[in-house]
Structure 1
Amino acid sequence: MKRIALLSGITFGAIMIVLSFAIAAETILRKFFSHSMGGIDELGGYAVAIVAPLAFIVAAHEQAHIRINVLHGQLPLRARAWLNVVAAVSLSLLALFLLYFTFKTVQDTLAYRSIAQTPWATPLIYPQGVWLVAMASFAIGTLVIAARTVMLAFRGDWQTLDRRYGPGSPQDELEAELADLKARDGMQSDEVKP
């Protein structure tokens, strides 16, 4: 799962960098040369549709999705562990719903042989096919996480369940941010040295 999250993050970053260069080029061409490449907005829509599930994978793996944990830290260990199971299963159900919606959209696109109403007139099955694969990856990733949480719960391994799949405490988040800041400061001081 860690490799999938890493690969998803790298792919997300690469697509966003390419898109930002394309948008910058489009803006410069329009501003200074009164010319447009046409279709960059279409490309941006495809990119966002594809990278969103990739970002979801990273967030699910890193437990970076938003969870309201005002009471979580006040509960007994077993109750916190079961809430973690509920959160993981709920996220996987959401991922399955999104996968179903994506599949139905792709199915309709195939049935109607839809093309984009843009200058490129792209057959929509191509970007939507990639979107479907990305959404399936997200669904599979969340199902793996949900299965692991359920297995840990049935084993009664509450400590591991809470440690691996629980939201971090505010203290944990503060320590992580301070460590990141320290690492960045260390990198900047290394750059300054001759």
Structure 2
Amino acid sequence: MAQLSGITFGAIMIALSFAIAAETILRKFFSHSMGGIDELGGYAVAVIAPLAFLVTAYEQAHIRINILHGKLPLRARAILNTVAAVSLGLLALFLLYFTFKTVQDTLTYRSIAQTPWATPLIFPQSVWLVAMLAFTAGTLVISARTLLLAIRGDWTTLDRKFGPGSPQDELEAELAELKTRERA
């Protein structure tokens, strides 16, 4: 699922890049604009970002600075993993709150985009809100799972499932991925 999501997100961003490049060339050399490409780009990023964050959270693909993490005792590592997961869940709730407030204001004022398309903002913002709801729900599930493992005192499972891999684990995963690509 994560690989399919990554490919989809990447394809959308590449298509958007080509559209922006075409828009730039049209403006520079032909004094013509397709109009609204920047608006479309903003909508794409607003929807894809929370979904990409969710995939990253589930795949544990986010960047962690783990210089000290591997040197800590098991229980301390597990507690740090729990704090990280809960912090991400709280951040998602915070972002969801402001996303909801933005959509609420858009409904109240019947806002439209100040672009050539004059898009009623409730449409793209509703999709953005759904994406942010998905991100929040996913991170809250991860938070709950880590908290349950911490309450049970299952430090080994918590560290194994929610901790960052060691540099050796990452190297082995990259080498395995390289072998897979070389075969293809």
Unmatched tracts of structure 2, length 5 or more: none
Amino acid at match of 1:180: E
TM-align CA RMSD? 1.8
Unmatched tracts of structure 1, length 5 or more: 188-194
* 1:84 partnered with 2:81: yes
Amino acid at match of 1:148: R
User: How much does 1:11 deviate?
Assistant: 4.5
* 1:137 partnered with 2:155: no
* 1:109 partnered with 2:106: yes
Distance of 1:146 and 1:67 partners within structure 2? 17
TM-score normalised by the chain length of structure 2: 0.91
Distance of 1:104 and 1:85 partners within structure 2? 29
User: How much does 1:172 deviate?
Assistant: 1.1
Distance of 1:52 and 1:164 partners within structure 2? 24
8 Å CA contact retained: 1:85, 1:149: yes
* 1:163 partnered with 2:171: no
User: How much does 1:6 deviate?
Assistant: 5.8
Distance of 2:50 and 2:62 partners within structure 1? 13
1:53 to 45, 50, 53: 50
User: How much does 1:67 deviate?
Assistant: 1.9
Distance of 2:5 and 2:123 partners within structure 1? 19
Distance of 1:94 and 1:135 partners within structure 2? 11
